[in-house]
């Protein structure tokens, strides 16, 4: 009987969590935000609800007249010195492990 009580309690708690989160999501759908006079703010509001609020004049005012060209690509550059040191240390460890001999370690072939 105790197990049945735990199942009922967990079902009630689960249902209340789902219902409260659903109600919270439903209550957040309030009025869309008011249009902004700032051009960059207007561009950042281009979600479906934000675009419905904005009119065409606000969008036209938000567009800059001339767009500066992007900076020229200078290549990836060189990695930082600590990264190079780690790479060389790993390479040295790999070479050391590959070239060291087993010395006098003899692995017997039989269990005796």
- Residue 85: HSE in the Cβ half-sphere, 13 Å Cα cutoff: 3
Token pair recorded at residue 111: 């269990």
Q: What is the dihedral of CA 100, 106, 111, 112, to 10 degrees?
A: -170
pTM over 0.75: no
Q: What is the pLDDT of residues 15-69, one digit of tens each?
A: 887 877 666 666 655 555 555 566 666 666 666 666 556 555 555 566 667 878 8
Token pair recorded at residue 36: 């902004």
């Amino acid at each position: 009987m105790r197990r049945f009580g735990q199942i009922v309690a967990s079902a009630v708690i689960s249902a209340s969590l789902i219902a409260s989160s659903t109600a919270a999501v439903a209550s957040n759908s309030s009025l869309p935000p008011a249009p902004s006079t700032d051009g960059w703010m207007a561009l950042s509001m281009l979600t479906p609800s934000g675009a419905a609020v904005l009119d065409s004049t606000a969008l036209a005012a938000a567009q800059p007249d001339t767009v500066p060209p992007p900076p020229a690509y200078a290549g990836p550059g060189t990695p930082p010195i600590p990264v190079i040191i780690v790479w060389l240390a790993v390479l040295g460890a790999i070479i050391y492990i590959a070239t060291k001999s087993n010395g006098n370690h003899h692995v017997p072939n039989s269990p005796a």
